[in-house]
A = this chain, B = another copy of it.
């Protein structure tokens, strides 16, 4: 690896001139510029970012923290983030926290240590006060999953209202006993979706009991387990609302394995509209979030932060959509 000094020597100029050529400063006469460019070619030189960044105090890299790339919900969002980031000269790297607090810390240290310029959080293991401090000290924006109290900007949908709509849909189909598959971990979005579920039951005049909510981990397997719990109940639900598509799909699978007909014996609604939700049998009714756009908007907020344009914590609420398919209405 060659350095700017070697290039300068080879071209017979000073390092300053080489730097000017690299950075397209106009104060270099053509003949010199050519000589430098030839030297760069010959030495196969590329500037060491460490040196540059140390001086500039910026890396033009942003990171996206998410619990697991295995959840297909995230990929579209990341694509949106990447699109906006790229057109502004930023590089995006994805960090898999595995919902591990320590690992999350390690990644966030890259922010503190100035190895990345900013971060987008799509989930966080830290508590409110830690997040609040993080947001105060560094450019950070939340997307989809969020904590409201912390004064950190976020982009999300109205989870309560989305859940309300999903459950009301089930109620309007005549279901009177509606179960829910929520999350073991107490995410804010999960709490909001539970609130929406409860409100919908209440507004439809349906009764609730705590047995109607089971708790999973957003994955297929836990959806199957929850479905089995439902089937062991004496007074079984005839419809289930799950807060993730994989759990809904797992539940579908378990119900069908026990010989139940979907949607006649039991209807299922999911959340996120992952690609698989159209591939399962029957296709899954679900809530679609505008994932790509949410990613774009989030990156825009982060850019504002990075440029200090905006110091108020912005809160962006985007529209969702209930997509009705065969898991609740036959033949859709």
The 8 Å CB contact of A114, one of B50, B76, B98, B281, is B50
**Contact residues in B for A112 (Cβ distance below 8 Å):** 1, 46
A70 proximal to B (CB < 8 A)? yes
Number of interface residues of A (CB under 8 A): 54
Q: Given A50-B50, A61-B110, A115-B115, 4 more contacts at CB 8 Å?
A: A50-B113, A54-B54, A91-B110, A276-B276
**Contact residues in B for A220 (Cβ distance below 8 Å):** 275-276, 278-279
The 8 Å CB contact of A69, one of B1, B51, B53, B69, is B69
- List 28 A-B residue pairs with CB atoms under 8 Å apart, sorted by A's residue number: A1-B112, A46-B113, A48-B114, A49-B110, A49-B114, A50-B50, A50-B57, A50-B59, A50-B113, A59-B115, A69-B75, A79-B96, A91-B106, A92-B95, A93-B94, A93-B95, A94-B96, A115-B115, A219-B275, A220-B275, A220-B276, A220-B279, A250-B279, A252-B279, A253-B279, A276-B276, A280-B280, A280-B281
**Contact residues in B for A296 (Cβ distance below 8 Å):** none
**Contact residues in B for A41 (Cβ distance below 8 Å):** none
A103 proximal to B (CB < 8 A)? yes
- Within residues 99 to 130 of chain A, which ones have a CB less than 8 A from any CB in chain B? 103, 106-107, 109-110, 112-115
**Contact residues in B for A202 (Cβ distance below 8 Å):** none
Closest to A63 in B: B93
Are A95 and B94 touching (Cβ within 8 A)? yes
Cα–Cα distance between A78 and B71 once the two chains are bound (Å): 13
**Contact residues in B for A70 (Cβ distance below 8 Å):** 72, 75-76, 275
A38 proximal to B (CB < 8 A)? no
Closest to A95 in B: B93
Are B46 and A109 touching (Cβ within 8 A)? yes
